[in-house]
C-alpha cells in the first residue's frame, strides 16, 4: 500500500510545461478532452463487455458525471468506463503512447504562439487538465478487478507523479482537478453547461450533473420565525440530470432513425426551416474510418454564389465536436451540402491548417464527394421513373402504381434540386477533374426541342441524327435569346437538336469540356460552319460557288467593318436572318466577354467574324447600293443585337437606321 513516485517520460515533462504556459488563452478545451477520454473509456468497456458481460458489474448504464466543490475548488469528471490498473495508470498517464511524439516535441520552438498551435494539432488529451489545475488526482479501478485494486494517481504536473493502491467500490475513473486560482470559474454549473453545449452535446453518453435548488438561509432576525431570511444560495439536491443532448443521431443505426428524426436533425444543424430534399447516411470503414450524414437542402441560400461562403459540414472526432464549416471536407462546388462527418482517426485538436494537409481528410473529402454524387445520380434516375414507366404502361394511372413509396417520394426531386443548385454543380467541371464524367451525366439543359431544363447529354446523344458527329450547343444570356439566335436557324430547318445554355457559369464550365462520351461538343456560334455529314455534297458545292461569287462584296464589307469584324464571310448557317456573329474556335464567346465586362473584369477585346446569308434580300441588295457603308454597319450592329448585346455606338446605329427609313 506504499506510495511510489515515478518520473514522467521526458517528452511528457516538456509537453506539460508547454501546456501550462501556452494554452492559457484557450483554457476551456480541457473539459472537452477529459469528457472525450471518459467517453472513450466507456466505449472500451462496452466493447470488452461484448465477450464478458461481467465487466458491467452492477452498473450497466454507462455515463459521465461532473461535479464541483466550490469551497475546495475542485472539479471532478467521473466515468464508469473501463478504468485503469496501476500499471496502466503509470504507463498511460506518465508517457505519451502516440507515435511521432519525439518528432512532435522536437518541433516545439519555445515560441509560445507557434507552440500553442502545434500542441493544438497534436492533441494534449489528459494533460490539458493542467491548463486549469495545479494538481490532478486520478482515482480509478479497472472493470473486473477487486475493489481493493483501485489506484490513486496524483501529480502537480511538473517532473513526477505519485501512485498508491486504494479501495474503490465503483469501477471506472474519477479525474479530480484542483483548480488554479485563475481558473475557479470552472467550478460553476453554468460555465460547465456552456462548454458542454459548445463541444460535447453530441457525445452519445449521458453527461450528468447534480441538480441544484435555491435554498433560503438563516433568519435575518433569529427571534422572528416569520421574518426574512438570508439568501441561502444554490444547494445540491442529490438528483442527477443529463446536461448534454446526447443526440449523436449519426451514430445510431439507420434502421433506428425515422425520417422525421433525420429532418429534425437537419433543421438543427442547418438552421433551415424547410425539410431537406434528401440525405445519405453511411459508416465508412477501411483505411480511414468515419461516419457521414449529408443532406441536400430544398432551397438554395441567399449567398449560394459567394464562393467564400462557409461550407456546411460540421466535423466531429469520435462524437466530439471539432469545428463548423469544415471546408476541407467538401469541394467548393458542393458547398450547398449540409451535414456531419465524424472521424474515428483524426486527432481531437485538429486545426484547419492540419485538415488541409491530412491524408485522412483527403480520403474523407473524396468519400463525401462520391456519396453526394451517388445520391444525385439516384435522384436523377428516379426522376425519370414516370417516363420509363409510362413507356411500359399505357394507362396514366398505372404510371405511379408500379413505383414503390420510396420511388414515388423521389419523383421530381432531381428537377427540384437542379433548379436550385444545378448551376453550382457545373463549377465542378473545372474543379474536380476526377469526377468530370459523373458530373457531365448529371447536367441538364433546355434544348431547341425541349424548353424545360431536362435534357441530359445522354438524352441528347440518343436523339442524334444519323451522320451527326457533334453535340451542338449555344450559350446566351437568356432562354429567349438562345432560342431565337440566328445561328440556330439551319439546325431548326434540318431538325437537329441544339442545347441551350443560359447559366452564367456555362461558358466558363464548358471551357473544361471538349467532349461527352466520345462525341465532341461544338458551339454553333464558334468557328466556321460545318455540319459534316449532315450536309450533302450538293449543298456543299453550292455553298462554295456562292462564296466565290461573293468574294468582291465580302472584300468591300471587310474594308468597311475593319474596326469591328475580324473577318466577313458567307455562311449557310442562316435561313431567315441576314447576318450573324461567330467567334473563332478558340476565341472567347461574345457572351462571356460581355459578362466579364459587366462584372467589371478585364476582358480581351473580342473581334467577331461577321457571317452573311447570301440568300437574304438585304445582303443581295448590298452590292452597288449607295447606302453600302450604312447598310454594312447596320448589318453588323443588328447581329450584335440579335445576340443580346448592344451596338458599340447605339446612337450611331439609330441614326443610320432612321436615315434609311426616311
Ligand atoms: P489519448 O486519449 O489521446 O490516448 P490522453 O493523454 O488523453 O491521450 O490519455 C492517455 C491514455 O490514458 C488514454 O489512451 C487511456 O488509455 C488513458 N486514459 C485517459 N483517461 C482515461 C479514463 N477516463 N479512463 C480510462 N483510461 C483513461
The Å distance, Cα 4 to ligand 1 centre, comes to 21
352-356 CB contacts, 8 Å cutoff, 24+ apart:
352/323, 352/326, 352/328, 353/117, 353/121, 354/121, 355/315, 355/326, 355/328, 355/329, 356/328
- Answer yes or no: is pLDDT of 118 > 80: no
User: How far, in Å, from the CA of 88 to the mean position of ligand 1?
Assistant: 10
What spacing in Å lies between the alpha carbon of 293 and ligand 1's midpoint?
28
Tell the residue nearest (CA) to atom 16 of ligand 1. Answer: 92
The 3-state DSSP class for residue 127 equals helix
pLDDT tier at 541, thresholds 50, 70, 90: confident
pLDDT in tens, 267-318: 767 767 788 999 999 999 988 999 999 999 998 876 676 666 666 898 888 8
Instruction: Give yes or no for residue 361 CB within 6 A of ligand 1.
Output: no
Question: End-to-end CA distance of the chain, in Å?
Answer: 117
User: Atom 9 of ligand 1 has which residue's CA nearest to it?
Assistant: 126
Ligand 1 pocket member 93 (CB < 6 A): yes
Q: What mean pLDDT comes out for the span 96-120? A: 65
Farthest CA pair distance, the chain:
125
96 C-alpha to ligand 1 centroid (Å) = 10
Q: Is 523 exposed, middle or buried (0-12, 13-18, 19+ CB in 10 A)?
A: buried
Query: Which of 231-235, 483-487, 552-556 has the least mean pLDDT?
Result: 231-235
Distance from the alpha carbon of residue 325 to the mean position of ligand 1, in angstroms: 28
The response to whether residue 37 sits with its C-beta less than 6 Å from ligand 1 reads yes
The pLDDT of 606-618, averaged and rounded, is 90
Report the C-alpha gap between 12 and 657 in whole angstroms.
87
Q: Among 39, 66, 125, 143, name the best residue to mutate to test ligand 1's pocket (greatest count of ligand atoms within 8 A of Cβ).
A: 125
Hey, which of 13, 92, 96, 150 would you mutate to test ligand 1's pocket, going by the most ligand atoms within 8 Å of its Cβ? Answer: 92
Going by alpha carbons, the residue nearest to atom 8 of ligand 1 is 125
The stretch 92-99 carries a mean pLDDT of: 77
Q: Is the pLDDT of residue 432 over 90?
A: yes
Ligand 1, residue 79: give the atom nearest the CA.
23
Rounded mean pLDDT, 30-39: 90
Q: Read off the pLDDT of each residue in 406-415 and give the average, rounded to a whole number.
A: 80
For residue 44, the CA-to-ligand 1 centroid distance in Å is: 11
Asked whether 125 lines ligand 1 (CB < 6 A), one says: yes
- Residue 41 CB–ligand 1 contact under 6 Å: yes
- The residue contributing the CA closest to ligand 1 atom 11 is 92
Q: How many CB atoms lie within 10 A of CB 55?
A: 20
pLDDT > 70 fraction of the chain, expressed in percent and rounded:
90
319: left (phi over 0), alpha (psi -120 to 50) or beta: left
What pLDDT shows up at residue 442? 96
Mean pLDDT of 80-101: 86
pLDDT at 398 over 60: no
Is 81 close to ligand 1, i.e. is its CB under 6 Å away? yes
pLDDT surpasses 50 at 392: no
What is the number of H-type helices and E-type strands within the chain?
25, 23
Taking residue 529's Cβ as centre, other Cβ atoms within 10 Å add up to 18
Name the pLDDT band for 86 (thresholds 50, 70, 90). very high
What is the 429 CA–ligand 1 centroid distance (Å)? 45
Which residue has its alpha carbon closest to ligand 1 atom 12? 92
pLDDT digits (tens, 9 = 90+) for 144-171: 999 999 999 999 998 899 999 999 999 9
Point out the ligand 1 atom lying closest to the alpha carbon of residue 93: 12
- Mean predicted confidence (pLDDT) in 428-435: 93
DSSP-derived pairing of the beta strands 471-475 and 519-523: parallel
Ligand 1 binding pocket includes 349 (Cβ within 6 Å): no
Indicate the helix (H) or strand (E) that contains 282: strand 278-284
Closest ligand 1 atom number to CA of residue 124: 6
Does residue 619 have its Cβ closer than 6 Å to ligand 1? no
Question: What is the best residue among 29, 37, 98 to mutate for testing ligand 1's pocket, by most ligand atoms within 8 Å of CB?
Answer: 37
- 395 pLDDT band (50/70/90 cuts)? very low
pLDDT band at residue 401, thresholds of 50, 70 and 90? low
Q: Is residue 385 scored above 60 in pLDDT?
A: no
323 Cα: distance to centroid of ligand 1 (angstroms): 22
Ligand 1 center from residue 45 Cα (angstroms): 13
Lowest pLDDT segment from 178-182, 376-380, 585-589, 614-618: 585-589
Stretch among 93-107, 264-278, 294-308, 343-357 having the lowest mean pLDDT: 93-107
Task: Kindly give the distance from the C-alpha atom of residue 278 to the centroid of ligand 1, in angstroms, as a whole number.
Answer: 39
Task: Give the angle subtended at the CA of 59 by the CAs of 56 and 63, to the nearest 5°.
Answer: 100
- Between 290-294, 601-605, 649-653, the lowest mean confidence (pLDDT) is in 601-605
CA of 243 to the centre of ligand 1 (A): 23
Q: What is the rounded distance in angstroms from the CA atom of residue 637 to the CA atom of residue 561?
A: 11
Question: What was the pLDDT predicted at 394?
Answer: 41
Rounded (10°) angle between helices 628-642 and 551-560: 80
Crossing angle between the packed helical segments 385-392 and 359-383, to the nearest 10 degrees = 40
pLDDT level of residue 100 (50, 70, 90 thresholds)? low
For 421-474, what is the HEC assignment? HHHHHHHHHHHCHHHHHHHHHHCCEEECCEEEEEECHHHHHHCCCCCCCCEEEE
Q: Which of 12, 126, 140, 143 to mutate to test the pocket of ligand 1 (most atoms within 8 A of CB)?
A: 126
Q: What is the pLDDT of residue 24?
A: 67
Q: Is 483 in the pocket of ligand 1 (CB under 6 A)?
A: no
Q: Vertex 108, ends 104 and 112: CA angle to 5°?
A: 135
Q: Pick the atom of ligand 1 nearest to 347's CA.
A: 3
Type and span of the H or E element at 393:
none
Model confidence, pTM = 0.64
Determine which of 42-51, 382-391, 467-476, 575-584 has the lowest per-residue pLDDT on average: 382-391
Q: Count other C-beta atoms under 10 Å from residue 109's C-beta.
A: 10
* Closest CA relative to residue 64, chosen from 80, 46, 85, 87: 80
What does the angle CA 44 – CA 47 – CA 49 come to, to the nearest 5 degrees? 105
- Are residues 266 and 274 in contact, defined by beta-carbon separation less than 8 angstroms? no
Q: Is 34 in the pocket of ligand 1 (CB under 6 A)?
A: no
Contacts 24+ apart (CB under 8 A), 643-648: 643/476, 643/481, 643/485, 643/525, 643/580, 643/581, 643/590, 643/591, 644/476, 644/477, 644/478, 644/481, 644/591, 645/590, 645/594, 648/564
What mean pLDDT do residues 552-556 have?
92
Residues with Cβ within 8 Å of 286's Cβ and at least 6 positions away in sequence, in order, are none
501 pLDDT tier (thresholds 50, 70, 90): very high
The candidate with the shortest Cα–Cα distance to 584, out of 529, 639, 642, is 529
Which one of 88-97, 401-410, 458-467 scores highest in mean pLDDT?
458-467
Atom of ligand 1 nearest to the CA of 38: 23
Measured by CA distance, the residue closest to atom 15 of ligand 1 is: 92
Q: How far apart are CA 320 and CA 336, in angstroms?
A: 23
Half-sphere exposure (CA, 13 Å, Cβ side) for 624? 2
DSSP secondary-structure letter at 381?
H
Check if 382 has its Cβ closer than 6 Å to any atom of ligand 1.
no
Q: Which pLDDT band, with edges at 50, 70 and 90, does 350 fall under?
A: confident
Which pairs from 303-306 meet CB under 8 Å and 24+ separation? 304/335, 304/336, 304/421, 304/424, 305/424
Nearest one of 432, 424, 434 to 311, comparing CA atoms:
424
Task: Return the minimum-mean-pLDDT range out of 14-28, 42-56, 94-108, 524-538.
Answer: 94-108
Mean predicted lDDT score pLDDT of the chain: 85
622 lines ligand 1 (CB under 6 A): no
| Cα–Cα nearest to 289, from 370, 345, 367, 354 | 345
Q: Do the Cβ atoms of 572 and 490 come closer than 8 Å?
A: yes
pLDDT of residue 351: 75
> Which ligand 1 atom minimizes the distance to the CA of 36?
2
As a whole number, mean pLDDT of residues 264-268 equals 78
Cα(92) to ligand 1 centroid in Å equals 6
Nearest residue CA, atom 13 of ligand 1? 92
pLDDT given at position 397: 43
**CA distance linking residue 83 with residue 86, whole number of Å:** 10
The verdict on the CB of residue 139 being under 6 Å from ligand 1 is no
Atom of ligand 1 nearest to the CA of 37: 20
Q: How much distance in Å is there from the Cα of 126 to the middle of ligand 1?
A: 6
Determine the atom of ligand 1 nearest the C-alpha atom of 33. Answer: 7
Amino acid at each position: 500500500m506504499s506510495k511510489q513516485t515515478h518520473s514522467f517520460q521526458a517528452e511528457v515533462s516538456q509537453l506539460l510545461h508547454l501546456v501550462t504556459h501556452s494554452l492559457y488563452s484557450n483554457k476551456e478545451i480541457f473539459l472537452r478532452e477529459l469528457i472525450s477520454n471518459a467517453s472513450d473509456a466507456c466505449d472500451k468497456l462496452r466493447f470488452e463487455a461484448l465477450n464478458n458481460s461481467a465487466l458491467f458489474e452492477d452498473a450497466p448504464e454507462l455515463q459521465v458525471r461532473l461535479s464541483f466543490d466550490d469551497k475546495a475548488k475542485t472539479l471532478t469528471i467521473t466515468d464508469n468506463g473501463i478504468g485503469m490498473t496501476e500499471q496502466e495508470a503509470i504507463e498511460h498517464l506518465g508517457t505519451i503512447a502516440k507515435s511521432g511524439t519525439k518528432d512532435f516535441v522536437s518541433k516545439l520552438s519555445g515560441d509560445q504562439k507557434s507552440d500553442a498551435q502545434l500542441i493544438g494539432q497534436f492533441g494534449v488529451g489528459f494533460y490539458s487538465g493542467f491548463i486549469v489545475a495545479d494538481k490532478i488526482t486520478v482515482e480509478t479501478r479497472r472493470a473486473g478487478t477487486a475493489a481493493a485494486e483501485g489506484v490513486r494517481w496524483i501529480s502537480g504536473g511538473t517532473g513526477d507523479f505519485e501512485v498508491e493502491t486504494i479501495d474503490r467500490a465503483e469501477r471506472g475513473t474519477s479525474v479530480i482537478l484542483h483548480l488554479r486560482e485563475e481558473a475557479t470559474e470552472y467550478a460553476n454549473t453554468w460555465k460547465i453547461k456552456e462548454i458542454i453545449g459548445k463541444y460535447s452535446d453530441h457525445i452519445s453518453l449521458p453527461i450528468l450533473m447534480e441538480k441544484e435548488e435555491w435554498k433560503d438561509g438563516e433568519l435575518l432576525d433569529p427571534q422572528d420565525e416569520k421574518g426574512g431570511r438570508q439568501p441561502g444560495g444554490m444547494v445540491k439536491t442529490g438528483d442527477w440530470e443529463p446536461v448534454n443532448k446526447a443526440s449523436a443521431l449519426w451514430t445510431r443505426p439507420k434502421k433506428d432513425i425515422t425520417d422525421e428524426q433525420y429532418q429534425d436533425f437537419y433543421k438543427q444543424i442547418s438552421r433551415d426551416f424547410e425539410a431537406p430534399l434528401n440525405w445519405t447516411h453511411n459508416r465508412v470503414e477501411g483505411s480511414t474510418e468515419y461516419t457521414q450524414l449529408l443532406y441536400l437542402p430544398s432551397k438554395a441560400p441567399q449567398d449560394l454564389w459567394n464562393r467564400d461562403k462557409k461550407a456546411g459540414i460540421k466535423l466531429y472526432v469520435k462524437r466530439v465536436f471539432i469545428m463548423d464549416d469544415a471546408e476541407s471536407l467538401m469541394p467548393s462546388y458542393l458547398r450547398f451540402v449540409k451535414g456531419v462527418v465524424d472521424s474515428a482517426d483524426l486527432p481531437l485538436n485538429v486545426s484547419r491548417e492540419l485538415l488541409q494537409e491530412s491524408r485522412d481528410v483527403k480520403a474523407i473529402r473524396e468519400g463525401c464527394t462520391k456519396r453526394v454524387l451517388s445520391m444525385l445520380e439516384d435522384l436523377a434516375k428516379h426522376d425519370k421513373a414516370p417516363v420509363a414507366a409510362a413507356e411500359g404502361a399505357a394507362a396514366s394511372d398505372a404510371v405511379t402504381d408500379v413505383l414503390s413509396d420510396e420511388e414515388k417520394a423521389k419523383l421530381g426531386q432531381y428537377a427540384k434540386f437542379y433548379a436550385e443548385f444545378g448551376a453550382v454543380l457545373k463549377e465542378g467541371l473545372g474543379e474536380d477533374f476526377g469526377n468530370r464524367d459523373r458530373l457531365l451525366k448529371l447536367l441538364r439543359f433546355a434544348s431547341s426541342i425541349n424548353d424545360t431544363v431536362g435534357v441530359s447529354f445522354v438524352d441528347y446523344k440518343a436523339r442524334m441524327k444519323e451522320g451527326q458527329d457533334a453535340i451542338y450547343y449555344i450559350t446566351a444570356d437568356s432562354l429567349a435569346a438562345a432560342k431565337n439566335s440566328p445561328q440556330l436557324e439551319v439546325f431548326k430547318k434540318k431538325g437537329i437538336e441544339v442545347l441551350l445554355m443560359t447559366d452564367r457559369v456555362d461558358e466558363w464550365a464548358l471551357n473544361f469540356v471538349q467532349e461527352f462520351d466520345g462525341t465532341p461538343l461544338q458551339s454553333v456560334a464558334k468557328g466556321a460552319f460545318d455540319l459534316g455529314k449532315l450536309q450533302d455534297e450538293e449543298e456543299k458545292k453550292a455553298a462554295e460557288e456562292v462564296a466565290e461569287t461573293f468574294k468582291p462584296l465580302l472584300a468591300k464589307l471587310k474594308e468597311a467593318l475593319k474596326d469591328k469584324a475580324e473577318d466577313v464571310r458567307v455562311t449557310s448557317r442562316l435561313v431567315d436572318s441576314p447576318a450573324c456573329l461567330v467567334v473563332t474556335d478558340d476565341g472567347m464567346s461574345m457572351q462571356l466577354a460581355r459578362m466579364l465586362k459587366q462584372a467589371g473584369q478585364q476582358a480581351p477585346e473580342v473581334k467577331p467574324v461577321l457571317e452573311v446569308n447570301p440568300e437574304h434580300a438585304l445582303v443581295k441588295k448590298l452590292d452597288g447600293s449607295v447606302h453600302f457603308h450604312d447598310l454594312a454597319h447596320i448589318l453588323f450592329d443588328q447581329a450584335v443585337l440579335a445576340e443580346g448585346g448592344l451596338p458599340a455606338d447605339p446612337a450611331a446605329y439609330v441614326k443610320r437606321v432612321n436615315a434609311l427609313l426616311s
